[in-house]
A and B are shown apart, each in its own frame.
Chain A
Amino acid sequence: MPFTADSVAVQQVQERLESLYSLIHDIEKKRAQCEQGLNTLQRNSIEDKGPNTQKSRSLIKNVMAQTDAEREVIQKALQKIYEIRNIINERRIQARTSAAKKESIRRGTWMKMLLSSAQTLPLFIGKVGEKAPPLCGAVPAERNYIAKVGDTVVAFAKLVEKENWILAEVVSYNPNTAKYEVDDILREQNQKGRHTLSKSRVIPLPLMRANPEINPEALFPQGKLVLALFPQTTCFYQAIVNKPPATHTDGYEVLFEDPSYPEGYSPPCTVAQRYIVACKHKMKVSASAASTSQAGSSDSES
């Protein structure tokens, strides 16, 4: 019953949009309070009563409480947005299973979607001192983590002639064989059928972005060898982090390994946090970015 399911989803989204609207107004109120508290504090400090007086400390406490209240409301609003995205994503997965063949999205549109999904990936902002959870930024998944159906992953799959790390979507996971069934994110690549890959050939993408200002430890440091999505493709190649992101909206600046350049590395490219995963040294990684078209050798899947 796709119609009813759709209408339910629409209803759910609508409800969330409405509450989001009222939350925005709440946020504005909290911000006003916060600003007022801060102004009082600033006035007090200008009067030069010193920061150690009881008054200043109670004012600071007050502003901290207001900041906390503000954070809670913003968090709620963001939660609503994430919920809406989840609802839409679930609908998309269901629609795909029911009408996979009919769906055809052009490559350019896919690239835009990838970019947008990288930008709208939830941002992790924990409480003070809270550690970034697994799959947030550079924090790897737990060892027994199983990617959910519909999750985007990096899969070491055989394309036309050779194996490559490609962007794929999980279709199913068989716990008995410990193998994933994944689809290439580009539909036209799936004509030969799905890829069945062992768990070790599938790397889940981060589910949250890390905020460099709050959780700098959840980012790959400069010089780290990673697998990064090559711009305008759906393939991952080895690269070295040249500059980690400075703000939560920035991407990594990476240098792809590329023997066609005299230094062996491409000029700096910007890749979103979502499309950078740790490189597995012992795996036979695909050829470097430049050699994709020339490479002749291919590895067979185990």
Chain B
Amino acid sequence: MSTYKRSSYSSKGGKFNNNVRDILLSPTDKPEAVADIKDFSNVPIIKQVENARSLPKYTSLLCRGDRTIAMDDLDLLQQDLEKLMCINASRTKFFLGEYTRTNQKEPNNAKKGRHKTSLKRKRTDIKGTDRSDGGHVLKKDPSRFYNETVYQEIPKISTPKSYNSDKFWASLEPYCAPINKDDIAFLDTLIQELSKEIDRKIPEIGEHYATSWSEETIIDEQNSGKFPSKKTASIDFKKNDLFSLVESFGKQFCQKLACENPALNVFKKSTENGNRLDKLKELDLSKLKHNNVQKVGACLEKRLLKNLIEHGILREDEISKDSPEDEILTEIQACEKELIAVNEYNTEELNKMKAAVMNDVHCNQLKDDLDKIDKEVLDLYNNIMVTRKKALQEEGKHYDKIFSQSSVNEFERKANALLRQQHVLNREINSSRDMAMLY
């Protein structure tokens, strides 16, 4: 029987503890008593100058030079260390609250209130069940222990807050920071970079794409530590010199002609006869050795075309007709145009932005000035109050002297001047804000 009772109780107790503790000590725990956001003067800490007073045993052990701690010292030392630990924990809590508050400015008062009430309801529930369960009736009216106002103070609840929202605000913060000189410098470099004329020529079809590209690749590979193949490349080159020669012909029909020409086939296979092409070949091969296949190809192509025209096989207009439209080139050119347009737009926008930034900087400057003047106004007010108090205290004796018409006038003059300045600055700020709005 007793076991049952016990278990029923403990399960309830467990439930209670879990519920409350879950609420209280969720990882998003926030200390409820956090000092003012700017106020770091009351951070919980035991300063070292207070050692002797606050931590007597700890201090005496620290000063002792014999490197020993007696067993008798342990109790007091433990107390001192625990004190340090508690202060440390409160400090962590303080900063956690403080730090998150700097990031998250939304007050959670509403949430807090709701929490308190919900907890209170739970507590009273538990109280009720405890009574009915146990059948335990307190001999005297225990209401004095359940004093409502005191009771509300017991649960020290901290408001849970979302770390995600903190992260979000933290990520936003840099974008909301006031503009500084670095930003302006960055904008300037951007504008400068974008305003540069782009001088990028697209190489003509032919040599560049046929050889320079691959040569560049080879050079790149060599530079990057691979030495594949100066030799193999040249070997390949020698093997395929004729084909590459043919391939280097810019016009397709020239390529076909060269391939299908039986004379060329002969020229490919052997050097039996001393025909023209053969001579050519000999001549060209010597040049090939100097890696000038491209030029030779171009020359050969021109000569071939010339011959063909001379023999009336081809007409000039056919040649130009034959050359297919270069789609890639037109595409590249279109892209280039687009990019230039985008660049122009960007530069324009950046310039606009710079103007806005300068305006903002000016605005900030004005705000600072206004703050200064506000401070001066306060100082003046305090000054007046002090003088007045003094005058009232010494009424009769020096009243006239202290609070003479001239000093009143002086104050008035100062106050008016400050107000005028305030007015002017306010107007300026408003007008520059309007400009910013327009943008």
Could you tell me which B residues sit within 8 Å of A by CB distance?
2-3, 5-10, 13-14, 17, 20-21, 24-29, 37-41, 43, 45-48, 58, 61-62, 67-69, 71, 74-75, 77-79, 81-82, 84-86, 88-93, 95-96, 98-99, 102-103, 123, 127, 130, 133-136, 138-140, 142, 145-146, 150-151, 154-156, 173, 177
Contacts and interface: CB of A to CB of B under 8 A. Distances in A.
Contacts of B38: 45, 50-51
A281 B13 CA distance: 12
A267 interface: no
A52 B21 contact: no
Given A21-B61, A51-B102, A71-B89, A77 B151 contact: no
A168 interface: no
29 contacts: A17-B68, A21-B68, A21-B69, A28-B62, A31-B48, A35-B45, A42-B41, A51-B37, A51-B38, A56-B102, A61-B99, A67-B91, A70-B88, A71-B92, A120-B78, A123-B85, A128-B92, A128-B93, A143-B10, A214-B89, A216-B156, A217-B155, A240-B142, A248-B82, A265-B140, A280-B9, A281-B130, A282-B2, A283-B2
B301 to A, nearest CB: 67
A229 to B, nearest CB: 20
Interface in A59-101: 60-61, 63-64, 67-68, 70-71, 74-75, 77-78, 81, 84-85
A128 B98 CA distance: 14
Interface residues of A, number: 84
B206 to A, nearest CB: 57
B86 A214 contact: yes
B134 to A, nearest CB: 2
Nearest to A241: B145
Interface in A129-171: 129-132, 138-140, 143
Contacts of B92: 64, 67-68, 71, 128
B74 A278 contact: no
A201 B1 CA distance: 12
A204 to B, nearest CB: 12
Interface string A1-43: 0000000000001000110110011011001101100100110
Interface stretch (A103-111, A184-192, A218-226): A218-226
B40 A45 contact: yes
A234 B99 CA distance: 48
Nearest to A52: B102
A129 B45 CA distance: 20
A78 B102 contact: no
Given A64-B92, A215-B25, A263-B140, A81 B74 contact: yes
Given A74-B88, A125-B89, A200-B6, A281 B95 contact: no
Given A74-B88, A75-B85, A216-B156, A249 B79 contact: yes
Nearest to B14: A140
A273 interface: no
Interface of A: 13, 17-18, 20-21, 24-25, 27-28, 31-32, 34-35, 38, 41-42, 45, 50-52, 54, 56-57, 60-61, 63-64, 67-68, 70-71, 74-75, 77-78, 81, 84-85, 116, 119-120, 123, 125, 128-132, 138-140, 143, 198, 200-201, 211, 213-218, 221-223, 225, 240-242, 244, 247-249, 257, 259, 263-265, 278, 280-283, 302
B81 A77 contact: yes
Contacts of A130: 25
B75 A116 contact: yes
Contact of B86 (A119, A213, A222, A283): A213
Contacts of A132: 21, 25
Contact of B25 (A120, A129, A241): A129
B27 A129 contact: yes
A281 B5 contact: yes
Given A71-B92, A81-B74, A283-B2, A211 B139 contact: no
A38 B86 CA distance: 17
In the complex, the 8 A-B pairs of residues with the closest C-beta atoms, listed nearest first: A281-B134, A282-B5, A264-B139, A223-B145, A264-B140, A129-B27, A217-B24, A216-B156
Nearest to B36: A51
Nearest to B47: A35
A241 B142 CA distance: 11
Given A38-B43, A130-B25, 15 more contacts: A35-B47, A60-B99, A68-B92, A74-B81, A125-B82, A129-B27, A131-B21, A139-B21, A221-B154, A222-B154, A247-B86, A280-B6, A281-B9, A281-B133, A283-B5
Contacts of A41: 40, 43
A244 B173 CA distance: 43
A119 B79 contact: yes
A129 to B, nearest CB: 4
A57 B150 contact: no
A71 B48 contact: no
Contacts of B43: 38, 41-42
A225 B69 CA distance: 42
Contacts of B8: 282
A244 B41 CA distance: 29
A223 B99 contact: no
Contacts of A131: 21, 25
B77 A81 contact: yes
A223 B142 contact: yes
A259 B139 contact: yes
Nearest to A66: B91
Contacts of A120: 74-75, 78
Contacts of A84: 71, 74
B21 A281 contact: no
A77 B68 CA distance: 14
Contacts of A85: 74
A163 B134 CA distance: 20
A282 B17 contact: no
B173 A78 contact: no
Nearest to A127: B92
B149 to A, nearest CB: 12
A125 to B, nearest CB: 5
A222 B145 contact: yes
Nearest to B156: A216
A280 to B, nearest CB: 6
Contacts of A63: 95
B13 A283 contact: no
B13 A278 contact: yes
A85 B74 CA distance: 9
B142 A140 contact: no
B85 A71 contact: yes
Contacts of B58: 24
Candidate in A24, A244, A264, A282 with the most chain B CB atoms within 10 angstroms: A282
Nearest to A218: B21
